[in-house]
Amino acid sequence: MDNLQLQELLQSMTLKEKFGQLTQITGELYADVDDRELVETGPEFSRHMLENDTLYTIGSVIGASSAKIINLIQSEYLKKSRLKIPLLFMHDAIHGYKTIFPIPLGLSCTWDASVLQKAAEETASELRASGIHVNFSPMVDLVRDSRWGRVMESFGEDPLLSGDLGKAMIKGYQKIREGQITPTGVAACLKHFAAYGAGIGGKDYNTVDMSLREFFENFGKPYEIALEEEPRFVMSSFNTFNGVPVTASQTMLKDILRERYQFDDLVISDWGAVAELQNHRVAQDGREAAELALSAGVDIEMVSTLYLEHYEAIIEQHPQLLKDVDAAVLKVLQLKNELGLFDNPYADESLEQEVIMNAMSLEAAEEAARRSCVLLKNENSMLPLRKEYKNVILVGPFAGTKELLGNWACKGSFDDVVSLAEGLMQADDSLTVAAYETLEDCPKNELDKCDYIIAAIGEHWGLSGEGHSSVKLELEDRQQHLIRAVKNTNLPYSCVCFSGRPLALQDIIDDIPSLLWCWYPGTRAGAAVAALLTGQATPSGKLTMSFPRYSAQAPVYYNEFSTGRPANGSSYSSRYQDCEIGPLFPFGHGLTYTGAEYSNFAISGRKITEDQELKVSFTVRNPSRYDYSEIAILYIEDLISKTVRPTREMKSYQVVQVPSYGKVDVELTITLEDLKYLNADLQRTVEPGDFRIYVNNLDHSLFTIEY
Ligand code: BGC
């Protein structure tokens, strides 16, 4: 259809049909389908008002999957709907649909936009082949607090990196060609706008209260950057922001999202969030809730159906809203048209089988998994396994399990997962590998011939994700005992850890000589991790989120502001009396088996100007037999500014492929823009003065530059 036809279609719609397009429900009301194919991610909402004449005006369905089911729902719907506008199907394929990639926090530890883009491309192909048109991903909520269960869905604590990686995923999902989503692409939904990751105390759905300066400098930045890639949707967040629930906030959704960040497409609420305005107690009833959300600029109501219940009264009282409603409905129609739904609303059921879990996506998932692992510690080079170690015992809750997908694993199945034990045996058939949940389960004669133990520890996947905030980030007692028991065998050993969040390991870290942090690696978990353990590849990921020493140290993050009493040995300084200063493992930390060597640091000048950017160059040498990607990171520190700034800010980074025994010259750029910050009046500014430059986590500054 051309735009004129879409306009005509809009003109032919009743007001109810328009509000129908702005409502999203789950699919079970349309067809009697296997409920395993219908995913619910929140509480139920009553549908008592969805009589047939309303039900067949609805615009989109959430959580249905598989081409067969979706086609069934679509055909039942189209049979009965007056205007026969096809339904849009939306889902949450956060880190893969059926082929599961590492959790987003793991993906972010690759720092490599191309890895995330590829993951998104493969996910989009699988989604589309199954009849799904919109993906509720990526989430770029900045996170600093490991207690929040949803850190697993994030890209960590740095605004620039989170924004860049979000952008890469949007690009991968939408696969835009000539301004249009291609037939194997899906519309991306950037979420959750905004600052959802900053809930007080790390508690999910909790209040957010922060200065606008902090928002624009940090928490808002990832959305601002990712929006440059033009996702078709933004999801508003559950939380309040400075006293107003975002679902009802004109400041957030109009002034900031639309005006300042120039977002011009569809805003969808989060699950039931319009109705929840009543729980926030800013709306006295459903009608007021709908009115507030609509006036704030929420175009589509997810799962609750208050728009449809109250539209007549709302429009009667606020006729000026009709213009916004028409604009939103037109965007929905345009998207359906862009996705080709008016030509063919159905998915090709035979194609689905071909596309899902094809060799290429599995390979991409394995590479992503390998590169997302972070080697946190490697004392006495306990990893990789030496060639002479032939009898290996895997012990711990993760030794033999296939439950390595992580939360939000969409249609991923444990049956498809390579376990760690399987991975090790496939990686090296000269190894004898036995897996036990506890050391007590291991027969004595096995232990007697054992050469090496790998303790497979971590936090169960179901303990992170939405609605899974925790106050206890320490490793379970029984797992700490396990590690000590392994140590007491006096056999060489190391630990691999699976977790959806950074854990607090201060009390056990001294008993762990080598620690490979695997997050949740997805379908190819065992294969990817085994390649690292056996030394076929080296770990190369770097942390994007700091690890607290103890639970109560959260939130802990690298870009803290300077204080009047910087942390030091004195008790009259900004520190905890019963905890060492700083995180256990900081942002940017990550080892390789041999360690890259940095040399030849140089800078193109010492003075930066409006039109004179500076180049920081250096050589990265790889003294190992592995080809791998080194992550080079550049930070700045503003020595004096009128308002307080973070002690370090990451401004540039590069993922550099360094061949084995080779070297690569790297050049990172600093522009004047990088030195700017928001002053007390929220103006972007830079004052003359000195700035220090750091590369990676080197403690001394490399250069001082001047503006
Ligand atoms: C989550 C969103 C998700 C939505 C739909 C909500 O509970 O906060 O991230 O996209 O459900 O499943």
Crossing angle (nearest 10°) for helices 3-11 and 321-338:
130
Greatest CA separation for the chain: 82
Atom of ligand 1 nearest to the CA of 139: 9
C-alpha pair distances (Å), 609 with each of 134, 306, 650? 44, 54, 20
How far is the centre of ligand 1, averaged over its atoms, from the C-alpha of 326 (Å)? 26
**Residue 471 in 3-state DSSP?**
coil
Give the per-residue pLDDT at 48.
56
Which of 39, 132, 271 for a ligand 1 pocket mutation test, highest count of atoms within 8 Å of Cβ?
271
CA of 170 to the centre of ligand 1 (A): 17
Residue nearest to atom 4 of ligand 1 (CA): 271
Ligand 1 atom with the shortest distance to the CA of 196: 8
> Taking the CA atoms of the chain, what radius of gyration do you get in angstroms?
26
Query: What is the Å distance from ligand 1's center to 542 Cα?
Result: 28
Annotate 105-141 with DSSP letters as a single string: HHHHTT--HHHHHHHHHHHHHHHHHTT--EE---B--
Contact in structure between 456 and 420 (CB atoms under 8 Å): yes
Give the chain's domains with CATH numbers: 359-533 (3.40.50.1700), 597-705 (2.60.40.10)
202-228: buried (b, 16+ CB within 10 Å) or exposed (e) per residue?
Answer: bebbbbbeeeeeebbbbbbbbbbbbbe
Q: Which residues line ligand 1 (CB under 6 A)?
A: 41-42, 92, 136, 191, 270-271, 466
Q: How far is CA 705 from the centre of its chain?
A: 34
Query: What's the CA-to-centroid distance between 690 and ligand 1, angstroms?
Result: 45
**Best residue among 25, 38, 39, 41 to mutate for probing ligand 1, ranked by most atoms within 8 Å of CB:** 41
246 Cα–ligand 1 center, Å: 15
DSSP state letter for 628:
E
For ligand 1, the distance from its centroid to the CA atom of residue 88, given in whole angstroms, is 17
Q: What is the pLDDT of residues 607-662, one digit of tens each?
A: 999 889 999 999 999 999 999 999 999 999 999 999 999 999 999 999 999 999 99
Ligand 1 centroid to Cα of residue 208, in Å, is: 18
Q: 3-state SS of the chain: helix, strand, coil percent to 5?
A: 35, 20, 45
Mean pLDDT of each 10-residue bin along the chain, 707 residues long: 97 98 93 78 74 92 95 96 98 98 99 98 98 98 98 98 98 98 98 98 97 97 98 98 97 98 98 97 98 98 96 97 98 98 97 96 98 97 96 98 98 98 96 96 96 98 98 98 98 98 98 98 98 98 98 97 93 95 97 93 93 94 95 96 94 97 97 95 94 84 86
Q: In 283-419, which ranges are continuous DSSP H helix?
A: 286-296, 306-317, 321-338, 349-355, 359-372
Identify the burial level of 4 via C-beta atoms within 10 angstroms of its C-beta, where 0-12 means exposed, 13-18 middle and 19 or more buried: exposed
Cβ atoms of 31 and 64 within 8 Å: the answer is no
Distance 142 CA to ligand 1 centre (A): 17
Q: At 95, which amino acid appears?
A: H
Q: What is the pTM (predicted TM-score) of this model?
A: 0.98
Nearest CA to ligand 1 atom 12: 41
CA angle, 396 as apex, 393 and 402 as ends, to 5°?
A: 95
Protein residue with least CA distance to atom 6, ligand 1: 271
Residue 580 C-beta-side C-alpha neighbours within 13 Å:
12
Substitution candidate for ligand 1 out of 206, 466, 469 with most atoms within 8 A of CB: 466
Q: Whose C-alpha lies nearest to ligand 1, atom 8?
A: 270
Number of H helices, E strands in the chain: 21, 27
Tell which atom from ligand 1 comes closest to the C-alpha of 63. 12
Q: From CA 190, how far away is CA 232, in angstroms rounded?
A: 8
Strands (E), 175-272: 176-177, 180-181, 187-193, 233-236, 240-241, 244-245, 266-268
302 CA closest ligand 1 atom index:
5
Is residue 667 within 8 Å of residue 675, measured between CB atoms?
Answer: no
Residue nearest to atom 2 of ligand 1 (CA): 270
**Which atom of ligand 1 lies closest to the CA of 237?**
8
Give the Å distance between the CA of 123 and the centre of ligand 1.
18
Task: Give one DSSP letter per residue of 573-593, joined into a string.
Answer: SSS-TTS-SS-SB-TT--B-S
User: Which pLDDT does position 327 carry in this prediction?
Assistant: 98
Q: Which atom of ligand 1 is nearest to the CA of 136?
A: 10
Protein residue with least CA distance to atom 10, ligand 1: 136
